[in-house]
Structure 1
Amino acid sequence: MAVTASMVKELREKTGAGMMDCKKALQETNGDMEQAVDYLREKGISKAAKKADRIAAEGSAYTLTDGNTAVLLEVNCETDFVTKNDQFKSLLDELAKHLLSQKPETLEEALQQPLHGNGETVETFINNNIAKIGEKLSLRRFVITEKTDADAFGAYIHMGGNIGVLTVVEGTADDAFAKDIAMHIAAVNPRFVSRDAVDAETVDKERDVLKQQALNEGKPENIVEKMVEGRLGKFFEEICLLEQSFVKDPDQKVKKLIADKGATVKGFTRYQVGEGIEKREENFAEEVRNQMNK
């Protein structure tokens, strides 16, 4: 019996297993949905499926460099206990090496790529680790960056993986300097490289807010515009990397440090693990009990 995309989708919704695992299960069972579910259970993939609806908001950011290519990725799990597990650390390294070598353009493409040359996909590899580790795991996002020999990667992992930063500093091969810039980004969390990079909508919205604040303070309308422009400068200092005081030497602006090196910052990516994921409300004692009962 021919296996259709709708059948794969249905089995995936029933089990939470990966797309390729579902397709193979249906092929092996000649399209019988119930037998395919049993097939996945027998292969241990159901262990991963049972955890599909759990919240995985902990985890680690991880970075790896190979010559002129670097990757920053985030893998999520359910508790921060797992991030200290050697198997979890090995998972991070395996995924990073794969992403560096294969350079997928999207997360969906990455998950369906063969990992070890034995037909096992990245998604299956993650699911197999779920069965071994006992928690829901997911590759949430990644970025792959290229540079030239004349540039430097700023790669930095903070707090054991809670925050990860990857940047390219062009025009200098000073890795230590580039790492300092990455550390600053991790600490201060700028949103843009420079003023020019801030979109007009963001600036206009902030200008409107500042104008209303000034009017609410009872300031005369004839000086409000000047006040707003002055306060906008402070806003740019808060959100733009080059406008900020360097975290390791607050007397210096980042843009001066970069200029003194004859360098430019091409861009940066900053991952804070779990940002945007609704976390489960549990106290520490309950978390420990849950971990011991697995």
Structure 2
Amino acid sequence: MSISAAMVKDLREKTGAGMMDCKKALIETDGDMEAAVDWLRAKGISKADKKAGRTAAEGLVGVAADGESAVVVEVNSETDFVARNDAFQTIVRDVAKAALGTDGSVEAVSAAMIGDKTVAATITDAIGNIGENMAFRRSAKLSVDNGVVATYVHNAVADNLGKLGVLVALNSTGKADVLQSIGRQVAMHVAATNPLALKAEDVDADVAERERNVFIEQARESGKPEAIIEKMVEGRMRKFYEEVVLLSQAFVMNPDLTVGAAVKAAEAEAGAPIEITGFVRFQLGEGIEKEASDFAAEVAAVAKG
């Protein structure tokens, strides 16, 4: 198929690889963007596997909690200047509080009331008052029957408001203060490491398969026999799970323990078993791309190549 300059530019932004490498990857994979990303990774060319999810939008992430439930919301604005505005911060805080009384879905939160107006209407009115476009983008809620849902906001600009918010649900009949303490530590860990899943079996099958395929291609580049390649791949998959699964990750507060082991160790002080049942991590603007800088010269060079 024909490989357009726009496709090459998109792949370059996702991977950080050079324009000519991106064009070759797209040619080799018949224009399949995901396959091209994997092709570059297998060749050791990709410089930033996760650039596709870089932070690009302005606004704030807000959290609210009532013990056994907590929510996290994201409200976007056009500029960081507006995000530092007291009126905008009040709106985000009110949206989070309103979300606590819902199931946490975008639809339910949008219809929830802030005073005598819905969340959706409140934001619409604010656009006219503040003079900048803004949007309620997403929300999530975690609840437990017994225990706590701990929250953490990284680099908070105000109470419960910042650029990155985390919820961690702990099911336990143990002491609430101990649960809040270990829960907050785990939430800080999640903020730092951005795990893909709670347990290995929760990792998306397609994601795991993509990683395996990349590892296979990388191992084959070594020229070793298939039997050795298989062992190499299995070892790399174990390492992959250790790096992306929350309970298996080295705990940032004590790297000698995994997160799972650290939570287990807290059970004695809590006086009851503790189970992490879920987590949510919202980083402002992740998955939204800013307008890229001008690559005209590079694109022209590729188009002529």
**Same-fold status (TM-score > 0.5):** yes
Give the aligned residue type for 1:147.
V
TM superposition outliers: structure 1 runs of 4+ over 6 Å: none
Task: Say which of 135, 154, 157 aligns to 1:138.
Answer: 135
Superposed CA deviations along residues 143-202 of structure 1, whole A, max 9, x for unmatched, are 122123x41222011123111111102224320110000000000000101112123333
The match for 1:61 is 61
- In the TM superposition, residue 104 of structure 1 has moved relative to its aligned partner by 4.7
- In the TM superposition, residue 58 of structure 1 has moved relative to its aligned partner by 0.6
CA contact (8 A) 1:70 1:144 kept: yes
The match for 1:273 is 284
- In the TM superposition, residue 265 of structure 1 has moved relative to its aligned partner by 1.2
SS at match of 2:223: coil
- In the TM superposition, residue 255 of structure 1 has moved relative to its aligned partner by 1.5
- In the TM superposition, residue 115 of structure 1 has moved relative to its aligned partner by 3.1
- In the TM superposition, residue 106 of structure 1 has moved relative to its aligned partner by 3.2
- In the TM superposition, residue 105 of structure 1 has moved relative to its aligned partner by 5.3
CA contact (8 A) 1:193 1:240 kept: yes
The match for 2:26 is none
The match for 1:170 is 171
The match for 1:243 is 248
Superposed CA deviations along residues 51-85 of structure 1, whole A, max 9, x for unmatched, are xxxxx911111111124221111111111122221
CA contact (8 A) 2:167 2:279 kept: yes
The match for 1:157 is 153
CA RMSD of the aligned region, Å?
1.9
SS at match of 1:126: helix
Within 1, Cα distance between the matches of 2:135 and 2:118?
Answer: 14
Identity, % of aligned positions: 39
Within 2, Cα distance between the matches of 1:112 and 1:240?
Answer: 35
Q: Where does the alignment leave 5 or more consecutive residues of structure 1 unmatched?
A: 1-55, 283-294
SS at match of 1:139: strand
CA contact (8 A) 1:154 1:182 kept: yes
Give the aligned residue type for 2:253.
K
CA contact (8 A) 2:57 2:76 kept: yes
- In the TM superposition, residue 113 of structure 1 has moved relative to its aligned partner by 4.1
CA contact (8 A) 1:154 1:180 kept: no
The match for 1:111 is 110
| TM-score (norm: length of structure 2) | 0.68
Higher-Rg member (1/2): 1
Deviates more, 1:180-189 or 1:208-217: 208-217
SS at match of 2:114: coil
Q: Where does the alignment leave 5 or more consecutive residues of structure 2 unmatched?
A: 1-55, 157-161, 268-272, 294-305
Aligned pairs for 1:1-294 (under 5 A) are 57-101=57-101, 103-104=102-103, 106-116=105-115, 118=116, 120-148=117-145, 150-160=146-156, 161-171=162-172, 172=174, 173=176, 174-260=179-265, 261=267, 262-280=273-291
Give the aligned residue type for 2:60.
S
Within 2, Cα distance between the matches of 1:109 and 1:170?
Answer: 25
CA contact (8 A) 2:98 2:113 kept: no
| TM-score (norm: length of structure 1) | 0.71
CA contact (8 A) 1:153 1:179 kept: no
CA contact (8 A) 1:60 1:83 kept: yes
Within 2, Cα distance between the matches of 1:122 and 1:168?
Answer: 26
CA contact (8 A) 2:71 2:104 kept: no
Superposed CA deviations along residues 10-32 of structure 1, whole A, max 9, x for unmatched, are xxxxxxxxxxxxxxxxxxxxxxx
